């Protein structure tokens, strides 16, 4: 990534003026600093350029710490135009611009032909060629500014820093220079950071805005989040004052979007229009251009993890969709091992996939811009916009999470273009007081998106009153105002018994209770491996066929096995200890986020011997992805992708193959079939399979093994099968085939009348869910909260 970012930067002259500054500008983006005089804009810019020593924190140019970059290299990456007036004696404009080539020329600073060309180009861009031979000191301020900009351009920076580039300029030069700056960002792909006093201009030219004031950063975000009249008035200390002198400006609430629109050029304009209140009168709304209509945003937050946020959100998505709205789910950040790969190869959380399916739209990575996949006790792999950014410790992530706000907002904006309602899901509890600062998942996000919040409590785990009322109590006043309703989830038994509870909640919480949702047995993808599902480990005596999945510590994609839930005569268990396995019919080694670690775990917990015994006994053994890799002879990790200690780990040796882990992650959808299988499983042969692959590493056959899934994605040998393909059981034929084959092997009869493709099965589940919610929730009120019904 090119561009500039800062982490916990502290700035100031003698003492710290502002600290904890986290900024990020990427190539092609314009970030504008606004704020009253003396708020530290220039100080910040000077610190970024290195004129002032920083008081703490880190500045990154690209991905490199600025301190580790030499002064010459820095000069090639970053150039600036400051407010300082310079007085070079007897220098022509051409000479001033030529100075920009400094980092590129030799010891005596003599320009090559190439350099001269670049100087010319820069002057052409800034319309200053005719000034080339003029003495710099004889120029007007506007001309000087353009020459300095030309100088900065011909330094060929990736990052351009401008301190009030429009000061001293009349309106014509102002427009000219800002158009040039915009061009530089958009066409030359520079990252631009500048300070501006003209708010209207800042609104139109910026991608992101940072508002400084009062010794701290008062706001960071996209234009539409910052330019609200109330905020601007507060920022500049003109609350309640008469500002009619400056006329009508786009950030004033009274301004109708139409006025703002007239001024804007392209691209950003929806932004200025966004500042008009969404609750415009209906007839007015009709006149507005379509893209300016903002979707209604409702956010589901929970009192704790697994309170049922995902499910409620999914159900609401389906209800809204069934009622004819265009709906999209959104969750800024997911912490889950169990990721989904979209068609374009990007990773996102499962819960939003389910919700997308409830909205009847394709899963889109914008629905879940940040995905954290735990890789160890405190570390996570950070995936932003579907792309892996690297591993970070929890602390590291926490410190720089505000720098992801732009990515979150961008994703949200993309979704907004095509939705009437966006259902946002929070994460964990909104009142984790130690983590609340700079929150970007719960109330912080609600503020950014201006969302109404519904709070869900889990009565099944007890303490519902404390959960809901305690959460409300810990919210600050502004946050509490956002909470428009409470939902009691997972209620078992007769609802009327809880009527008095509802009254109490209403009274004490001073908030409406929107409904009591019964405990639902639904087979819907759960958010993460903490889900209750994994609790089941006991053998179900009533079932004819038993499927056991080893509960690896870093298990991933465990939803691969959920389709079994459709078969009442087949039990699915997740086992933690070898002795829990018993007489199982199918032993599955699931995917793992850390194959080597989990392989060691298998060995230290005595699973390895047991698996070999099971093989001898004739039990069918199936490895999927990481589990597949473990079945081989060895797993190599030369680049230390998964383990920092060991280079390789001996596998279980059940399949003659070896795996080499690499840094490259393979993420593709799989379309193929089952090429071969032995004995009873032979009936699976030829069944087509639609799934997906997601793994880091390649597996090569080293001996006598036969292809299982096509395209060398899986192998088998005897009764041991392995494949990279996830979602194997999603197709009903595979599911049914496996069940029947296992039954045949065991010599039992299965009554399988109707098995659905897992997709159809889920569809049925979603409908059941939405019907259930519609019954228990007061949908009228929810629509009122959204402002869609009066």
Partner 1 sequence: MNKKRVAIAFVILCILLLVLVVLNLCMGSVFLAPKAVFEAFHAGDPDALNLVIIRDIRLPRILAAVILGGALGLSGYLLQTFFNNPIVGPFVLGISSGAKLAVAIALIGLLSAGVHISQGGMILSAFTGALIAMGFVLLLSLKVKNPSILVVCGIMIGYICSAVTDFVVTFADDSNIVNLHNWSMGSFSGVNLKDVRIMAIVVFVCLVFVFFLSKPIGAYRLGEAYAANMGVHVKALRVALILTSSLLAGCVTAFAGPISFVGIAIPHLVKSLCKTSSPRIMIPACFLGGSVITLFCDGIARTVFAPTELSVSSVTAVFLVPVVIVMMLKKKTKSGVA
- Contacts with partner 1 by CB under 8 A lie at 46, 49-51, 71-72, 74-76, 78-80, 82, 84, 86-92, 95-96, 99-100, 102-103, 105, 107-109, 137, 151, 155
Query: Closest CB to partner 1 among 78 and 469?
Result: 78
Residue the block writes with tokens 């409300």: 472
Query: Closest CB to partner 1 among 154 and 409?
Result: 154
Half-sphere exposure of 684 (CA within 13 A, CB side): 31
Q: Minimum Å distance from CB 351 to partner 1?
A: 48
Burial class (CB in 10 A: 0-12, 13-18, 19+), 356: buried
Q: Minimum Å distance from CB 87 to partner 1?
A: 6
| Residues in Cβ contact with 314 at an 8 Å cutoff, skipping those fewer than 6 apart | 329, 351, 354, 355, 358, 524, 766, 769
Query: Closest CB to partner 1 among 99 and 610?
Result: 99
Vertex 447: Cα angle to 446 and 451 (nearest 5): 45
Q: Is 574 helix (H, G, I), strand (E, B) or coil?
A: strand
DSSP secondary structure letter of residue 108: T
Residue the block writes with tokens 């007897």: 90
Q: Minimum Å distance from CB 788 to partner 1?
A: 54
Query: Closest CB to partner 1 among 161 and 408?
Result: 161
Q: What stretches of 222-263 show up as alpha helix (H) in DSSP?
A: 223-226, 229-235, 257-263
Q: Is 784 helix (H, G, I), strand (E, B) or coil?
A: helix
Query: Closest CB to partner 1 among 161 and 297?
Result: 161
Q: Minimum Å distance from CB 74 to partner 1?
A: 7
- Hey, what long-range contacts does 597-604 have (CB within 8 A, 24 or more apart)? 597/553, 597/554, 597/642, 597/643, 598/552, 598/553, 598/554, 598/555, 598/626, 598/630, 599/630, 599/635, 599/649, 599/651, 599/652, 600/649, 601/552, 601/553, 602/550, 602/552, 602/630, 602/652
Q: What stretches of 475-558 show up as alpha helix (H) in DSSP?
A: 477-482, 499-509
DSSP secondary structure letter of residue 709: B
Residue the block writes with tokens 């049914």: 736
Q: What stretches of 605-731 show up as alpha helix (H) in DSSP?
A: 607-617, 626-631
How far apart are the C-alpha atoms of 340 and 44, rounded to whole Å? 41
How far apart are the C-alpha atoms of 790 and 735, rounded to whole Å? 48
Query: Closest CB to partner 1 among 79 and 592?
Result: 79
Query: Closest CB to partner 1 among 152 and 252?
Result: 152
How far apart are the C-alpha atoms of 358 and 328, rounded to whole Å? 9
How far apart are the C-alpha atoms of 407 and 71, rounded to whole Å? 30
Query: Closest CB to partner 1 among 157 and 363?
Result: 157
Query: Closest CB to partner 1 among 51 and 305?
Result: 51
In the annotation, is 726 catalytic? yes
Dihedral angle computed from the Cα positions of residues 111, 113, 118 and 120, in that order, rounded to the nearest 10 degrees = 100
Is residue 723 a contact partner of residue 628, using CB atoms and an 8 Å limit?
yes
Is residue 705 a contact partner of residue 759, using CB atoms and an 8 Å limit?
no
Q: Minimum Å distance from CB 202 to partner 1?
A: 24
Query: Closest CB to partner 1 among 78 and 555?
Result: 78
How far apart are the C-alpha atoms of 435 and 443, rounded to whole Å? 12
Q: Minimum Å distance from CB 656 to partner 1?
A: 59
How far apart are the C-alpha atoms of 354 and 468, rounded to whole Å? 26
How far apart are the C-alpha atoms of 221 and 205, rounded to whole Å? 14
In the numeric block, which tokens belong to residue 71?
Answer: 């002064």
Query: Closest CB to partner 1 among 51 and 414?
Result: 51
Residue the block writes with tokens 């009322």: 469
Query: Closest CB to partner 1 among 105 and 706?
Result: 105
Vertex 366: Cα angle to 365 and 371 (nearest 5): 60
Q: Minimum Å distance from CB 203 to partner 1?
A: 28
The backbone region for 473, taken as left when phi is positive above 0, alpha when psi lies in -120 to 50, beta otherwise, is alpha
Q: Minimum Å distance from CB 136 to partner 1?
A: 9
CA torsion through residues 458, 462, 466, 470, sign: negative
In the numeric block, which tokens belong to residue 781?
Answer: 């009120």
Which of the following is catalytic: 619, 625, 640, 695? 625
The backbone region for 428, taken as left when phi is positive above 0, alpha when psi lies in -120 to 50, beta otherwise, is left
Q: Minimum Å distance from CB 37 to partner 1?
A: 20
| Residues in Cβ contact with 443 at an 8 Å cutoff, skipping those fewer than 6 apart | 301, 430, 436, 453, 475, 479, 482
Q: Minimum Å distance from CB 138 to partner 1?
A: 10
- What is the helix (H) or strand (E) element at residue 549, kind and residue range? strand 545-550
Which of the following is catalytic: 22, 154, 695, 726? 726
Q: Minimum Å distance from CB 52 to partner 1?
A: 10
DSSP secondary structure letter of residue 469: H
Q: Minimum Å distance from CB 99 to partner 1?
A: 5
Query: Closest CB to partner 1 among 160 and 655?
Result: 160
Query: In 3D, which of 688, 687, 680, 686 has the Cα closest to residue 741?
Result: 680
The backbone region for 57, taken as left when phi is positive above 0, alpha when psi lies in -120 to 50, beta otherwise, is left
Catalytically active residues are 625, 726
């Amino acid at each position: 990534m090119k561009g500039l970012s800062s982490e916990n930067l502290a700035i100031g002259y003698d003492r710290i003026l502002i600290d904890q500054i986290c900024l990020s500008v990427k190539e092609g983006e314009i970030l504008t600093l606004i704020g009253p005089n003396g708020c530290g804009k220039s100080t910040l810019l000077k610190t970024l350029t290195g004129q002032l020593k920083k008081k703490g924190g880190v500045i990154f140019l690209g991905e490199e710490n600025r301190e580790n970059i030499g002064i010459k290299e820095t000069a090639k990456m970053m150039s600036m135009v400051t407010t300082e007036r310079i007085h070079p004696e007897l220098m022509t404009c051409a000479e001033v611009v030529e100075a920009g080539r400094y980092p590129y020329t030799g010891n005596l600073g003599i320009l090559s032909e190439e350099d001269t060309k670049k100087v010319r180009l820069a002057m052409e861009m800034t319309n200053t060629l005719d000034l080339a031979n003029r003495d710099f000191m004889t120029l007007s301020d506007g001309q000087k500014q353009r020459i300095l900009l030309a100088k900065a351009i011909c330094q060929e920076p990736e990052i351009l820093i401008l301190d009030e580039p429009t000061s001293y300029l009349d309106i014509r030069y102002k427009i000219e220079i800002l158009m040039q700056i915009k061009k530089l960002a958009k066409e030359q792909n520079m990252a631009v950071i500048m300070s501006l006093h003209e708010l209207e201009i800042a609104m139109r030219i910026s991608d992101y805005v940072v508002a400084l004031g009062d010794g701290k950063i008062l706001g960071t975000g996209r234009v539409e989040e910052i330019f609200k009249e109330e905020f601007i008035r507060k920022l500049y200390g003109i609350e309640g004052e008469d500002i009619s002198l400056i006329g009508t400006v786009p950030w004033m609430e009274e301004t109708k979007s139409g006025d703002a629109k007239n001024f804007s050029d392209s691209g950003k304009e929806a932004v200025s229009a966004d500042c008009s209140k969404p609750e415009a009168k209906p007839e007015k709304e009709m006149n507005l251009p379509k893209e300016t209509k903002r979707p209604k945003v409702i956010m589901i937050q929970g009192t704790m993890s697994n309170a049922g946020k995902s499910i409620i959100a999914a159900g609401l998505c389906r209800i809204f969709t069934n009622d004819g709205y265009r709906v999209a789910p959104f969750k800024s950040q997911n912490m889950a091992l169990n990721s989904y790969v979209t068609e374009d190869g990007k990773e996102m959380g499962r819960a939003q996939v389910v919700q997308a399916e409830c909205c009847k739209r394709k899963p889109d990575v914008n629905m879940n811009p940040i995905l954290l996949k735990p890789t160890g006790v405190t570390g996570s792999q950070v995936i932003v916009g579907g792309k892996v950014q690297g591993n970070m410790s929890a602390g590291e992530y926490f410190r720089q999470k505000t720098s992801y706000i732009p990515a979150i907002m961008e994703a949200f904006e993309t979704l907004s273009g095509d939705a009437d309602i966006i259902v946002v899901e929070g994460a964990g509890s909104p009142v984790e007081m130690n983590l609340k600062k700079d929150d970007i998942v719960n109330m912080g996000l609600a503020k950014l998106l201006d969302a109404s919040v519904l709070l869900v409590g889990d009565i099944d785990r007890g303490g519902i009153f404390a959960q809901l009322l305690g959460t409300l109590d810990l919210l600050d006043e502004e946050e509490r105002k956002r909470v428009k309703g409470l939902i009691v989830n997972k209620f078992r038994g007769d609802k009327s018994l809880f009527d008095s509870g509802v009254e109490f909640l209403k009274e004490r919480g001073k908030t409406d209770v929107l409904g009591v949702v019964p405990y639902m047995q639904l087979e819907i993808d759960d958010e993460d491996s903490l889900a209750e599902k994994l609790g089941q480990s006991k053998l179900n005596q009533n079932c004819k066929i038993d499927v056991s999945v080893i509960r690896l510590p870093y298990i991933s994609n465990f939803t691969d096995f959920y389709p079994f839930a459709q078969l009442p005569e087949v039990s699915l268990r997740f086992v933690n200890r070898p002795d829990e396995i018993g007489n199982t019919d199918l032993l599955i080694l699931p995917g793992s986020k850390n194959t080597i670690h989990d392989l060691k775990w298998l060995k230290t917990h005595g699973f390895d011997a047991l698996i070999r015994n099971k093989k001898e006994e004739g039990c069918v053994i199936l490895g999927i992805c990481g589990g597949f890799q473990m079945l081989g002879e060895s797993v190599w990790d030369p680049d230390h992708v998964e383990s920092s200690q060991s280079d390789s780990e001996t596998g279980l040796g059940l399949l003659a193959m070896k795996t080499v882990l690499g840094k490259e992650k393979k993420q593709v959808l799989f379309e193929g079939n089952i090429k071969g299988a032995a004995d009873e499983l032979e009936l699976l042969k030829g069944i087509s399979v639609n799934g997906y692959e997601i793994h880091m590493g390649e597996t090569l056959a080293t001996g006598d093994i036969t292809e299982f899934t096509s395209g060398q994605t899986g192998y088998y040998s005897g009764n041991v099968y392995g494949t990279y393909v996830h979602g194997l059981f999603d197709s009903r034929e595979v599911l049914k085939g496996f069940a029947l084959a296992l039954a045949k092997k065991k010599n039992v009869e299965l009554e399988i009348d109707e098995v659905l493709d897992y997709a159809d099965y889920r569809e049925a589940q979603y409908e059941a869910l939405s019907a259930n919610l519609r019954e228990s929730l007061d949908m009228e009120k929810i629509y009122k909260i959204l402002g869609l019904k009066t």
